[in-house]
Structure 1
Amino acid sequence: MTNALLEVEHLSKSYGGVHAVEDVSFRLFAGEMLALIGPNGAGKSTCFNMVGGQIPVGAGRIRITGRDTIGLSPRQIFRLGVGRTFQVAQVFKSMTVRENVETVFASRDGGLGFLGRAGSAHRTAAEEVLALTGMAEFAKRPCADMAYGDVKRLELAMALANDPKLLLMDEPAAGMAPLERVELMALTARIARERQIGVLFTEHDMDVVFAHADRMMVLNRGRLIAEGAPETVRRDPQVRAVYLGEGLVYDQAAAARRADA
Structure 2
Amino acid sequence: MSIPLLGLGTFRLKDQVVIDSVSQALALGYRAIDTAQIYGNEAEVGQAVAASGVARDELFLTSKIWTENLAADKLIPSLKESLSKLRTDYLDLTLIHWPSPKGAVPVREFMDALAEAKVQGLTRQIGVSNFTIDLLRQAIEVVGKGVIATNQIELHPYLQNRTLAAYMHSQGIAVTSYMTLGYGKVLHDPLIQQIAALHQATPAQVTLAWAMQLGYAVIPSSTRRENLASNLKASELKLSSDEMAKIATLDSGLRLISPDSLAPAWD
TM-score by length of 2: 0.40
TM-score by length of 1: 0.41
Whose strand fraction is larger, Structure 1's or Structure 2's? 1
Whose helix fraction is larger, Structure 1's or Structure 2's? 2
